[in-house]
Structure 1
Amino acid sequence: MAQLSVAMFCCFSNCSQFQLLNKTVSSVFLRKMCMKKLLLLTSLIALSACNNDTPVFIEDDNNIGSLPSIPPSPENNPTTDEKVKLGKLLFWDPILSGNKDIACASCHHPNHGYAENLDLSIGVGGSGLSENRHGGKLIHRNAPTILNTAFNGMDEDGAVDPLNSPMFWDKRANSLEEQALLVLQSDVEMRGDTISEDDIMQVLSERLLNIAEYRSLFNNAFGDETINAERITQAIAAFERSLIASNSPFDLYARGDENALTDQQIRGMDAFVEAGCAQCHDGPMFSDFELHQLPVKENAKLVQLGVVDEGNEKRFRTPSLRNLSFTAPYMHNGTEATLRDAILFYDDIANPGNSEELANLNFDDVDSETLDAIEAFIHALSDDSFDKSIPQTVPSNLKPGGNI
C-alpha cells in the first residue's frame, strides 16, 4: 500500500493536552490532510515539549492513540512505592480470602496478562491455574485483565478520573479501590460462605494486624499501623495502578516511530477504522467504556446451571482491545475462543439493542486478507513489558496465589 510520510502533529507547549505526532499516514487519513496543513508549523515548534506522559493521538476522528506512561491516582490515595509494595503482597496473599485458599492473583496471573485462559473464572474452593483450574465456585463472568485498568474510563481526549473509572463487565464499581472491596466481599470470588459479608473486612483486618510484617508494611505505606478495609483496598488499588503496559508497537508508532508497525498492521488499522470498529473501541484504551447490548452466545456451563446473565439491563461494558494477545478467551462469558473468532463475531452481527454503532458497522468488503490485517493490528496493541514478577513468599507464609 502506498504511504505518505507527513509531518502532521500538534501539541500544547506544556503537553497537558492531546497531541498529534509525525506519522506514516495511510489512505484513511490522507483524505483529511488538506484540512490539516495549517497544523504543520505549530507542530514543529511544539515537538520538543512532548513526552510519554501524555497521550499521543493519530490524526483521526476516532482519536485512537498511545497511552501515557503514568496513570493518575485519586487525591485520597496517592501512589507511593511503599503502598505499591504492600499492595502487591496483598494481591498475592490468600490470607485475604475467607478460606485462605484464593488470592487476587489466582484469577489475574501475570503469566496470562493478569487475566486467565479460562472462559469463566473459578473462585473459592478451586484448585489449579487458568485453564487447569477446577472445582470450587463458578463465577459467571470471564476475568478481565488488570493491565492498564488505571486508565479505565479514559475519554477520547485522554482524560481519566480515577474516582470515576468503570470496573467490571457491568460497571458496578467506579474505582480500583471499590472494585477490590467488592471482590473481597463476594462469596463466590474470595469471601466464601463461612464469614458474612458484613464481617469479612473486619476479619481480614484482624488477620493482618496479627502479623508483625504487615503492621510494619502498613506503617511504611500509611504512616501508622492502622489496618482497615479502606487501607487494604487502597494498597491493592495502588499496586494495580502500577500494572501499566503502554509501549506496544502501536504506542511506539503513535509517538513517531514509523517502523514500529508493519505494512500489514497499518492496513489493519485503516480497515479497523473504515469498518466502524473505532465507534466503540476508540481513545487510547480502545474503548468507550459504555454499556452495549450484543448478541453474545450463551456459555454452555451457565446454560447447564440454568443461569441467565442479564448484565446491566442486558448490556455489558465495551472491553479495551489492549493486550488481547495474552488474555483469550474473549467476551464477558468467554465464548469466543480466539481473537479471530472475536473479530468474526462482528461480521453481519445482529443488533438486539438497536445500537447506532452496530448499525453502522460495515464488514461488507472485509475479505480474508483484510481480516488478517485487522487481527495483526489488534495484536500490535499488546505490550509484554509489564511486571511479571511473583513474590517468593508473602507475610502470612501461605502459598502465594493460593491453590494454583
Structure 2
Amino acid sequence: MIIAGGPAGATEFPPPLRAEDFLEFDRNQAALGQLLFYDKILSGNRNISCSTCHHPKFGTGDGLSLGIGEGGVGLGPERSAGSGESRIRKRIPRNAPGLWNLGAREVDTLFHDGRLSRSDSYENGFNSPAEEWLPQGFNSILAAQAVFPLVAQFEMAGNPKENEISGALHDRIDAGWPILAKRVRVIPEYGGLFVDAFDNIDAAEQVTIVEIANALAAFMATEWQSIDSPFDQLLNGDDSALSTAQMRGADIFYGRGNCEQCHSGKLMSDQRFYAIGVPPFGPGRTRRFDPMARDVGRMGESDALEDAYRFRTPMLRNVALTAPYGHNGAYPSLEGIIRQHLDPDRALAAWRPENAALPVVPWLSAIDFIIWQDKREMARQMSARDIGDVDLADKDILDLVDFLGSLTGSSVQNPPMGQPTKVPSGLPVD
C-alpha cells in the first residue's frame, strides 16, 4: 500500500490488519479464561495471577523493567519484593511483554528468546522447553505459551518445599500441570463452566491443563485484539487519521529510519532475532549450567553461538502503553529506545542504572549490575550488533515518537470483557 505522506513523498505501508487476520475463539471459553486470568488459584502459593504481571492498568505489562514474581506484594511499579521467608529469591530476568494481538494467525514464535515456536519437532505442534512432554490439543501458540509461567519457579510456581506444584516440578516440567488442573476443576463453579464451554468435556474430572490454557488464550486473544488505532485507520483509507507530525514520523519509520527492516508486515514484526546492544543488567537468562549473571538471548534456546545476545523483534501496536522498553526494560521512554536503535554504542555509554525501573531489593542488589564489572563479557556484548547507526535529527526522533503514539488503539480503554470483581476460587483480585 502506497500513501502520499509528508515531505518524504510517497511511502509504502503494509496492508491493513483486519479481523480476518486473527484466529477465532469461542466466546464462552473466553469468558471462562477471563476468570482464570485474574485468579490466583493458578499459582503455586495462590498469591499471584497472570494479571499481576500483565495488567491492563499498565498496558498489559507491569510497568517494571524486570518483574517481581513469586513472593512480591502489590501491583505495577509499586510492587515490592516482599519480606521474611516469603520474599522473592530472584528478579524475573526479562521484561513482561504486552499481550496485544497475540491471537493473530501469523504469530509463530513467542518469548523474547523464541523458546516457544510452532514446529513438529516433538510431534505435538511446538518446539518448547517442555519438549516431548508438552501435551497436545492447544488451540494456538498463545495457549501453549500460557502454561509455562504457571510452572516457572520465580514467576508463579513458588520455591521448593513451599507447595505441591513447586515440589512436583523438580521431577519433571509437566508434573505440575495435572495438580493445577485438579485445583481448578474441583471448584464447582469452574467445573460447570468448563462443561458448558468445551464440547469435549462432559464432567469436571475431564478438565486438564490444555482446557485451562485454551480458555486463557481465548480470553487474551479476544480481550486484547487491537486494530483500530489511527494508523490502522490510515491503512484502511482514512488519509486524515494521522497528524502532520505523525505522518512525518511514519515516513521516517518506513523510509530513512530503517525501522521497517525488522518491524515489518501487518504485525510490525518479522518475528526474527537481532542483537541491538540494549544495556545489560539483572540475573539474565543463560544456557543451562551457565554460571554467569548474563542474558545470552536466542542462544539460550538454540545453543548456537551466532545467536548470542539476539532477541525477538516485538510487535508495536499500543507500544506507547507498554513502557519500559527492551527485553529487560532498560529504557523508560520511547525516545530513549529509539535513540538506542539509532546509535547503540553511544546509548550504552550514556545509560545509567537509574534508568531501570527496579524496585529496591537489598538482598539482590549485589548482582543487579554485576555484569558491568566483567569487561570481557561487556566487550562480547558490544561486538554483537545486527544494526548500524542511523543519522536522524532530534526533530525526526520526536516525529517517530508521535508516529508510535498513533499505534495506540482507539478502544483500548473499553475492552470486550474487562476485569472481574471476583473469581470462583474466592481469592482476592488485583
Q: Distance in 1 between matches of 2:283 and 2:211?
A: 37
Q: Distance in 2 between matches of 1:191 and 1:311?
A: 23
Q: Distance in 2 between matches of 1:255 and 1:71?
A: 14
Find the partner of 1:89 among 35, 38, 42.
35
How far the C-alpha of 1:107 sits from its partner, in A, is 0.4
SS in structure 1 opposite 2:116?
A: coil
Find the partner of 1:219 among 195, 212, 215.
195
How far the C-alpha of 1:353 sits from its partner, in A, is 3.6
> Residues 230 and 410 of structure 2 are in contact (CA less than 8 Å); yes or no, is this contact kept in structure 1?
no
CA distances 1:78-97 after superposition (whole Å, capped 9, x unpaired): 51111100111111110000
CA distances 1:184-206 after superposition (whole Å, capped 9, x unpaired): 11111111123222432111111
Q: Which residue of 1 aligns with 2:335?
A: 340
Give the 3 Å change call, closer, same or farther, for CA 349–372 of structure 1 in structure 2. same
- Which runs of structure 2 are paired with 1:320-331 in the superposition (5 Å)? 320-331=315-326
How far the C-alpha of 1:237 sits from its partner, in A, is 0.9
Q: Which residue of 1 aligns with 2:125?
A: none
Q: Which residue of 1 aligns with 2:360?
A: none
> Residues 34 and 419 of structure 2 are in contact (CA less than 8 Å); yes or no, is this contact kept in structure 1?
no
> Residues 71 and 241 of structure 1 are in contact (CA less than 8 Å); yes or no, is this contact kept in structure 2?
no
Q: Distance in 1 between matches of 2:95 and 2:343?
A: 24
> Residues 177 and 237 of structure 1 are in contact (CA less than 8 Å); yes or no, is this contact kept in structure 2?
yes
Bigger drift between 388-397 and 305-314 goes to 305-314
Give the 3 Å change call, closer, same or farther, for CA 352–201 of structure 1 in structure 2. same
How far the C-alpha of 1:27 sits from its partner, in A, is 4.7
> Residues 28 and 274 of structure 1 are in contact (CA less than 8 Å); yes or no, is this contact kept in structure 2?
no
Find the partner of 2:95 among 132, 142, 147.
142
Q: Which residue of 1 aligns with 2:423?
A: 394
Q: Which residue of 1 aligns with 2:17?
A: 67
How far the C-alpha of 1:279 sits from its partner, in A, is 0.4
SS in structure 1 opposite 2:265?
A: coil
Q: Which residue of 2 aligns with 1:79?
A: 25
> Residues 61 and 97 of structure 2 are in contact (CA less than 8 Å); yes or no, is this contact kept in structure 1?
yes
Q: Which residue of 2 aligns with 1:125?
A: 71
CA distances 1:168-225 after superposition (whole Å, capped 9, x unpaired): 1011113111111111111111111232224321111111121111011101111323
Bigger drift between 121-130 and 192-201 goes to 192-201
> Residues 294 and 352 of structure 1 are in contact (CA less than 8 Å); yes or no, is this contact kept in structure 2?
no
- Which runs of structure 2 are paired with 1:229-378 in the superposition (5 Å)? 229-242=209-222, 243-272=224-253, 273-299=255-281, 307-313=293-299, 314-350=309-345, 352-353=383-384, 355=386, 358-359=387-388, 362-363=390-391, 366-378=392-404
Matched to 1:221, the amino acid is A
How far the C-alpha of 1:384 sits from its partner, in A, is 4.9
> Residues 26 and 266 of structure 1 are in contact (CA less than 8 Å); yes or no, is this contact kept in structure 2?
yes
> Residues 68 and 92 of structure 2 are in contact (CA less than 8 Å); yes or no, is this contact kept in structure 1?
yes
How far the C-alpha of 1:66 sits from its partner, in A, is 2.9
> Residues 107 and 115 of structure 1 are in contact (CA less than 8 Å); yes or no, is this contact kept in structure 2?
yes
Find the partner of 2:144 among 157, 178, 185.
178
> Residues 121 and 141 of structure 1 are in contact (CA less than 8 Å); yes or no, is this contact kept in structure 2?
yes
SS in structure 2 opposite 1:377?
A: helix
Q: Distance in 2 between matches of 1:302 and 1:184?
A: 19
SS in structure 2 opposite 1:274?
A: coil
How far the C-alpha of 1:25 sits from its partner, in A, is 3.6
Q: Distance in 2 between matches of 1:392 and 1:324?
A: 27
> Residues 91 and 282 of structure 2 are in contact (CA less than 8 Å); yes or no, is this contact kept in structure 1?
no
TM-score (norm 2): 0.73
Matched to 1:133, the amino acid is R
How far the C-alpha of 1:306 sits from its partner, in A, is 6.1
Bigger drift between 232-241 and 98-107 goes to 232-241
How far the C-alpha of 1:392 sits from its partner, in A, is 0.5
Does residue 1:169 correspond to 2:198, yes or no?
no
Q: Distance in 2 between matches of 1:349 and 1:338?
A: 15
Give the 3 Å change call, closer, same or farther, for CA 161–327 of structure 1 in structure 2. closer
How far the C-alpha of 1:146 sits from its partner, in A, is 0.6
Q: Which residue of 1 aligns with 2:179?
A: 203
Q: Which residue of 2 aligns with 1:380?
A: 406
How far the C-alpha of 1:29 sits from its partner, in A, is 4.8
Q: Distance in 1 between matches of 2:210 and 2:219?
A: 14
SS in structure 1 opposite 2:19?
A: coil
Q: Which residue of 2 aligns with 1:155?
A: none
- Unaligned segments of structure 1, at least 5 residues: 1-19, 31-58, 152-159
SS in structure 1 opposite 2:426?
A: coil
> Residues 276 and 385 of structure 2 are in contact (CA less than 8 Å); yes or no, is this contact kept in structure 1?
no
Q: Distance in 2 between matches of 1:102 and 1:187?
A: 12
Aligned residues: 331
SS in structure 2 opposite 1:250?
A: helix
Q: Distance in 1 between matches of 2:42 and 2:33?
A: 12
How far the C-alpha of 1:347 sits from its partner, in A, is 2.4
> Residues 299 and 334 of structure 1 are in contact (CA less than 8 Å); yes or no, is this contact kept in structure 2?
no
Matched to 1:292, the amino acid is Y
> Residues 5 and 248 of structure 2 are in contact (CA less than 8 Å); yes or no, is this contact kept in structure 1?
no
Q: Percent identity?
A: 34
> Residues 277 and 385 of structure 2 are in contact (CA less than 8 Å); yes or no, is this contact kept in structure 1?
no
Bigger drift between 219-228 and 92-101 goes to 219-228
CA distances 1:380-400 after superposition (whole Å, capped 9, x unpaired): 111151327210000101012
Q: Distance in 1 between matches of 2:116 and 2:282?
A: 27
Q: Distance in 2 between matches of 1:79 and 1:71?
A: 13
Bigger drift between 96-105 and 339-348 goes to 339-348
Q: Which residue of 1 aligns with 2:128?
A: none
- Unaligned segments of structure 2, at least 5 residues: 82-87, 118-140, 286-290, 300-308, 346-381
Matched to 1:316, the amino acid is F
How far the C-alpha of 1:354 sits from its partner, in A, is 5.1
Q: Distance in 1 between matches of 2:284 and 2:175?
A: 30
